[in-house]
Structures are given as C-alpha cells and as structure tokens.
A and B are shown apart, each in its own frame.
Chain A
C-alpha cells in the first residue's frame, strides 16, 4: 500500500527536481502522443527542442526565443506574485489585450508626428491600460468580496470583443482599403518597438522582462512587501497578525500583474505583431500561467520556464511546417507539462512510502 507522509519541511532537492522531472515525463508522454498521431516521436521531440537552438537554421530561430519568451516572462512574473499570495489573476490575456489597445491607441493618436516621447508614452499607456483592467477584479474583490478568478476571466471575453470592435472601428487603418486592423506600427518609427541589435530578437520588451525578473527577485527576497506576499500565501491569519493589510495586497498584486501584462501587450503590438487586429492575442496570457507554475513561482525559475515554453512554441511551429504536426498537439503538450508538474510537486512536501500493514 502506498502512503503519503508529510515531510517535516519542504524538500530542497525535489523543489528543484520536479520541474525537470515534469519536462522529462512530458517528453515521454508527448512522444507517445506524437506516435499515436503517426509521427516519429524521436524526430518530433528533436524538432521541437533541438532544432530551434542548435539545428541547421538555428540562427533564424534563436531570436524568436527572446521574442516569444519576453511576453511570457513579463506576464508570468506578475502572475506569480499574486499566486504566491493566493490571489488568482487568470485574466492576464485580457489585460494583455487592453494594454496593447491603450498603448497602440496613444501611438496612433500622434500619427504621423515623429518624436522620441511617443514610445515612452505608449509604454506608460500600455502599463496603465493593463493595470486599470486588472483593477476591476481587484476593486470588486476588495469592496464586495467578489471572486477574482471568475471576474478576471470574464473580462478576457469582454476584452476580446473590445479588440474586435477596435480593429473594426476606432483604430481601423483609414488607409487600409476597408480591411480590419490598425495601421502598422512597424512603419511608424516613433512608435515602433524595433530590435535593439539587429538579428538578435532583443527589443524593449526583452529588456523590460529582464528588469522585471531582477525586480521580482529583490522584492521577494529582500523587501518587506515580498515577505508579506509570501507570508499571506503560507498563512493568511499570520499575515494579518504581522500587520499585512489584505486589501492593499490584493490591489498591489492584481495591479502589478495587470500592468506587466499590459506592457507585454504593448511591446508585442508595437513590435513583432505590428498592428491591432482581431486575432492579435495568441494565448500568451494563459500560457504564462503554465510558465509561472513551471518556474515554481520563483523569478529565476520563471525566466528559464519562459524560455522553455518559448522553445515549444517555436519548435512546435517547425514541427508543424516540416512534419505536419497539428498546432493543437503543441497545446496538449504544454497542458501536459503543467499536469506533470502539479502531480510531481507532491514529492516536495510529501514522502511516498510503501507500507505493508500488519493485522492487529
């Protein structure tokens, strides 16, 4: 008989080993899935994990790693602060959309004026937009005790409709021959989030992601606010006893995760995506939830997890074009990763024992 036994304290070893074990398990079961779909599993795994980094055309894919990783890391860092405190913002996708809308909106309002001030203003507007969207569930939770999970999620659907409305209406390119979608910001120098070093994939969003990782690390390990976040997650009553104001913490955690998601949206719309369009959002806000957990809600872990998840996106695209692997298979693959991580996480706090029970 298998019995779970609570460890006196969390295992250091397993807290590092579970993400790695989860990745390995996902590769094995993902491989099986690919085999069922009639693809060579070894080749598929190699295409996803090896080719983008070290394959023949890696020089082309490597910059993509930063481009896809940056929004994931930005959003996931923000989410992780709330998750640590038991505050569940799962509407980052909506905040990402609104950040892109407000940011791009400010940029387009200045068109065709050129000035260095425009991009910083867009950044500010993007962050504020995401922040404001996240403030809706935050204020409702603080004022009325409304469940922030459901409200933040409902707002994703609202944001998607707003996005559609904007790309068909207010922000539509007047010179776009009636096609939906805004002007392309890549062709508007003052608003373009261009590559900082050509061919590297490095844009302002990547810089922001790096700064955010360092900021989160310092916050959680060296600052009272970070200590209060961790304390609230471990023992809410003890946190109140220590003097934490729960309402303020909710506003902070939801606000900062919204602002970071908004930033991610702005950097995306002003850079790699280029324009507001109906299908602008691609699910970064949801994938970031996986990234946050895979990184064990730790800033450095999230950085690594974000890069890994970006890799599965890029590798997935390669596998799609070269092997005909369906795009949904990659989505399943990413979902599996979260499953294995949550399942194996039990080893951090529990010991598994085989017991032969003696009959009394």
Chain B
C-alpha cells in the first residue's frame, strides 16, 4: 500500500470530472421535481444518452455532435414519460421505473456494434499561462467544455428559479397545481417542458460518462449514477448550488475510492466499490429529517376537472 501515490491536485481535478455526470443529471431532475413531477427514469435516460452520444460521436467523428445527440436522445426518451404521466395520467413511480427498464434494454440494443470502440477525444481547455499554472491550472483551467457547461447550467437554473417570472411560475406549478391552473397557467405544458429539460440533462450526463469519463461503451455502464442523482436532489433540498456541492462531494468519494483501490489499500475491492452506494444511503438517512423543502405537489397526478 502506498498512499503517497495519490496526488491531491489530480484528485481534485478528477473529482470534478467524476462529479459532472451526476451534476448534470441531478440539476435536470431538480427542475423536473420543482415543477412537481417525480421522474425515476433518470438512469434510463442517462444510459440512452450515453449510447446516443457515443454512437453519433463515433459515426460523425465530432464529440460536439455526440453531446447534442445525447441531449436529444435523453429528451426523446423522457417524451415517453410525458406520454405516460401527463397524457395518460399514469402513476409517476411506475412510469419512471418503466423508463429505466426500457432505457437499459434500448441502450444495449443500440450499442451492439459499438462495444470496444474508442470515441473521438473531447478537446480540453488550453489557455496559455493559466492552464499551465501549478495547482490552479489543472483544477480550474484545463477541463473539457462540458464540465464548465455543467456549472453554467447550475448557475442558470439557480438564477432562473430565483429571479425570473418563468422560475416563479415553475415553482408555483410544483407547489400547487390546482391553484396554478385556476390562475390560468398551463400546468401540463410547463411540466412537459421541465421533463424534456430533465431528459436532455440526463442524456448529457450519460454521454459525459461514455465520451469523457470512461471513455468507452459498455452495457449498463451508468451503474446506478442516475439513482444517485435522484438521491442528490433530496440531499440538496431542491436547491441548485447544493446540487453542485453534493455532486462534488460524491465525485470526491468515488475518485478517492478508486485511488485507494489503485494504491492497494487492504480493503477488498468489492467493499470499496460498494462504498458510494452505502454512503448515499447514509447521507439520505441524515438528510431525510428535513422534508419540508420538497415541492408540495411532487408526484401527484394533475387532472383538470370541469
């Protein structure tokens, strides 16, 4: 065992990479839940985004097209959730599960020809001087653009929810859909948009795993990250900046765990590998005392009567 192999600067830089898929998926789900919808299909949308992004990036040779395709793929899959919950008024928990099961099958079907391929590399930011700075350079100035985009989405979501009328309406719909309807707001339309946004974000998060973090395609490669993102929304008490904080904490744990594995710590690999899930449970337990922040209409079916 040699812990000195772990370089703290690289650790921080790589935890930001490890955190980005969770961050993207969780901020999307946060918007969905603030609109009063519980979409448990994050895992399914992520894995779909992962393969859509991977396939298009490989075929076109452009990671950018890949990420666009991933967002579209995630959003298209979330459209199925829209049909079930907003049109057919089906139970949101069951529909989310269906989305995940379907997404897992669909992705492995689509991914048949892509196992073992290498995707085109995503260029990293390279600012002269800044990127070469010691410590600060690798941590702040030499990541891929999607990582920065994730942080921008968090900031934009925060600003939207806090300062804009659109954000106010979104929160109102999630708080009390009957009252919002009575005031003349289009509850279903607003929720559909939120769900599509959530799907696109989850798709991006998935593609980040297959195009940058791993980068490769394997079946079921999201391995529960979508579910962890769902837990993260609860952890963050539905607040955007806390999602960022939570994602980085979680990314840190993942990277540390991998580093410990590599350093040959005397804990069996399996127990290190299960630690992220165990820690998620522990965090959920600690935070489940504070439920008051949950949007009041979360998960409830809306049907405009009369």
Do any beta carbons of A and B sit within 8 angstroms of each other in the complex? yes
**Is B277 engaged at the interface, CB distance under 8 Å to the other chain?**
yes
> Contacts of B281 on A, CB cut-off 8 Å?
136, 140, 146, 150-151, 154-155
**Is A162 engaged at the interface, CB distance under 8 Å to the other chain?**
yes
- Name the segment of A42-50, A107-115, A125-133, A340-348 touching the other chain: A340-348
> Contacts of A90 on B, CB cut-off 8 Å?
97
Beta-carbon contacts under 8 Å, B239-292 to A: 268, 270-271, 273-274, 277-278, 280-281, 284-285, 288-289, 291
**Is B95 engaged at the interface, CB distance under 8 Å to the other chain?**
yes
Pairwise interchain contact A335-B98, C-beta atoms closer than 8 A: yes
> Contacts of A136 on B, CB cut-off 8 Å?
281
> Contacts of B273 on A, CB cut-off 8 Å?
161
**Is A147 engaged at the interface, CB distance under 8 Å to the other chain?**
yes
Pairwise interchain contact A144-B101, C-beta atoms closer than 8 A: no
Pairwise interchain contact B93-A157, C-beta atoms closer than 8 A: no
Encode A314-342 as 1/0 by CB contact (under 8 A) with B.
00000000000011111111111011001
**Is A243 engaged at the interface, CB distance under 8 Å to the other chain?**
no
Chain A residue nearest to B284 (CB atoms) is: A146
> Contacts of B227 on A, CB cut-off 8 Å?
150, 153-154
Pairwise interchain contact A326-B84, C-beta atoms closer than 8 A: no
**Is A276 engaged at the interface, CB distance under 8 Å to the other chain?**
no
B side interface size, CB within 8 A: 46
**Is A158 engaged at the interface, CB distance under 8 Å to the other chain?**
yes
Do A286 and B101 contact each other (CB < 8 Å), given the known contacts A157-B277, A169-B268, A343-B90? yes
Pairwise interchain contact A328-B231, C-beta atoms closer than 8 A: no
User: How far, in Å, is A171 (CB) from chain B's closest CB?
Assistant: 13
A side interface size, CB within 8 A: 50
Pairwise interchain contact A157-B102, C-beta atoms closer than 8 A: no
In the bound assembly, the distance between CA atoms of A144 and B58 in angstroms comes to 47
Encode B93-129 as 1/0 by CB contact (under 8 A) with A.
1110110011111101100100000000000000000
Q: Which of A151, A157, A162, A334 lies in contact with B101, CB distance below 8 A? A: A334
Beta-carbon contacts under 8 Å, A127-175 to B: 136, 140, 144-147, 149-151, 153-158, 161-162, 164-165, 168-169
Pairwise interchain contact A4-B280, C-beta atoms closer than 8 A: no
Chain A residue nearest to B89 (CB atoms) is: A346
Chain A residue nearest to B226 (CB atoms) is: A153
> Contacts of A286 on B, CB cut-off 8 Å?
101
In the bound assembly, the distance between CA atoms of A90 and B41 in angstroms comes to 13
**Is A240 engaged at the interface, CB distance under 8 Å to the other chain?**
no
Pairwise interchain contact B303-A338, C-beta atoms closer than 8 A: no
User: How far, in Å, is B2 (CB) from chain A's closest CB?
Assistant: 23
Pairwise interchain contact B223-A334, C-beta atoms closer than 8 A: no
Chain A residue nearest to B268 (CB atoms) is: A165
Pairwise interchain contact A332-B102, C-beta atoms closer than 8 A: yes
Pairwise interchain contact A343-B84, C-beta atoms closer than 8 A: yes
Pairwise interchain contact A342-B98, C-beta atoms closer than 8 A: yes
Chain B residue nearest to A347 (CB atoms) is: B88
> Contacts of A158 on B, CB cut-off 8 Å?
274, 277-278
In the bound assembly, the distance between CA atoms of A146 and B230 in angstroms comes to 13
**Is A123 engaged at the interface, CB distance under 8 Å to the other chain?**
no
> Contacts of A342 on B, CB cut-off 8 Å?
84, 88, 90-91, 94-95, 98
In the bound assembly, the distance between CA atoms of A327 and B303 in angstroms comes to 39
Encode B7-30 as 1/0 by CB contact (under 8 A) with A.
000000000000000000000000
Do A162 and B88 contact each other (CB < 8 Å), given the known contacts A154-B280, A286-B101, A289-B101? no
> Contacts of A83 on B, CB cut-off 8 Å?
94
Do A150 and B234 contact each other (CB < 8 Å), given the known contacts A140-B285, A342-B90, A343-B84? yes
In the bound assembly, the distance between CA atoms of A169 and B234 in angstroms comes to 36
Chain A residue nearest to B223 (CB atoms) is: A157
Pairwise interchain contact A332-B105, C-beta atoms closer than 8 A: yes
In the bound assembly, the distance between CA atoms of A325 and B303 in angstroms comes to 41
> Contacts of B109 on A, CB cut-off 8 Å?
326, 328-329, 331-332
Pairwise interchain contact B274-A157, C-beta atoms closer than 8 A: yes
In the bound assembly, the distance between CA atoms of A241 and B84 in angstroms comes to 32
Encode A283-310 as 1/0 by CB contact (under 8 A) with B.
0001001100100000000000000000
**Is B71 engaged at the interface, CB distance under 8 Å to the other chain?**
no
In the bound assembly, the distance between CA atoms of A79 and B21 in angstroms comes to 31
User: How far, in Å, is A177 (CB) from chain B's closest CB?
Assistant: 21
Pairwise interchain contact B93-A149, C-beta atoms closer than 8 A: yes
**Is A88 engaged at the interface, CB distance under 8 Å to the other chain?**
yes
Pairwise interchain contact A290-B101, C-beta atoms closer than 8 A: yes
> Contacts of A168 on B, CB cut-off 8 Å?
270
Encode A256-299 as 1/0 by CB contact (under 8 A) with B.
00000000000000000000000000000010011001000000
Pairwise interchain contact B285-A144, C-beta atoms closer than 8 A: yes
> Contacts of B64 on A, CB cut-off 8 Å?
none
Interchain Cβ contacts under 8 Å between A and B, 15 examples:
A6-B303, A140-B285, A145-B288, A147-B288, A154-B281, A165-B270, A331-B108, A331-B109, A334-B101, A334-B105, A338-B97, A342-B88, A342-B98, A346-B90, A350-B89
Given A147-B234, A154-B277, A335-B102, 15 additional A-B pairs, CB 8 A: A6-B303, A88-B93, A136-B281, A145-B291, A158-B277, A158-B278, A161-B273, A165-B268, A326-B109, A331-B105, A331-B108, A332-B105, A338-B102, A342-B90, A350-B89
Interface residues of B (CB under 8 A from A): 40, 80, 83-84, 88-91, 93-95, 97-98, 101-106, 108-109, 112, 219, 223-224, 227-228, 230-231, 234, 268, 270-271, 273-274, 277-278, 280-281, 284-285, 288-289, 291, 303, 305
